[in-house]
Structure 1
Amino acid sequence: MKIIQMTEKDNYCIDIMQQNLAVVGLLKSAHQMLMESHLQTCFKSAMESKNEKRKREMIKEILKVTALYNK
């Protein structure tokens, strides 16, 4: 919201870009925390189970979200 307001108020471009990078940094941190939590809970549980299909699905999910993150 603040970035949009800054743009609408014709703030200096560099200031807007710095604010944007701050938001990106926060989102990356949130993603990292979510990934860690998921790996320690859901993923770990699936890998410890005997359900091979679920294991493959979990691995695919991790690979998919990692690929999206790295785009």
Structure 2
Amino acid sequence: MIAKNKQEILTALKKSHGLLTKIISMTENELYCIDIIQQVSAAQGLLNSAKSSLLENHFKSCFAEAFESKNKSKQKKMTGELLKIFSIKK
């Protein structure tokens, strides 16, 4: 994994974890729904950021390596994985 991406991913995931703990507590304490929804939206944003960084890392490392290798089996596997991730192929 690319070091820059790894740090971005870990930061976003750790912040998400903290927010999820807060959201659970807010829900258990029956705080105002809109406040909870705002925190859920913030957590989703952080998770989307982590997902984007993971995809970027995958494209720049594993995916690039597979296509540079000219190995048709690896290329097919990588293409299938991406189609699955983007819900184009189940």
Structure 1 length normalisation: TM-score?
0.90
Q: Structure 1 vs Structure 2: percent identity of aligned residues? A: 49
Of the three residues 59, 65, 72, the one matched with 1:39 is: 59
- Match status 1:51 vs 2:71: yes
Q: Using the alignment, how far apart are the partners of 1:20 and 1:50 within structure 2?
A: 43
Structure 2 length normalisation: TM-score?
0.72
Q: Using the alignment, how far apart are the partners of 1:36 and 1:66 within structure 2?
A: 14
Partner residue of 2:87?
Answer: 67
Partner residue of 2:26?
Answer: 6
- Match status 1:24 vs 2:44: yes
Q: In the comparison of the two structures, how many residue pairs are matched? A: 68
Q: Using the alignment, how far apart are the partners of 2:45 and 2:87 within structure 1?
A: 18
Shift in Å at residue 50 of structure 1? 2.1
Could you list the runs of 5+ residues in structure 1 that have no partner in the other structure? none
Shift in Å at residue 17 of structure 1? 0.4
Shift in Å at residue 33 of structure 1? 0.4
Could you list the runs of 5+ residues in structure 2 that have no partner in the other structure? 1-20
After TM superposition, what 4+ stretches of structure 1 lie above 4 angstroms from structure 2?
none
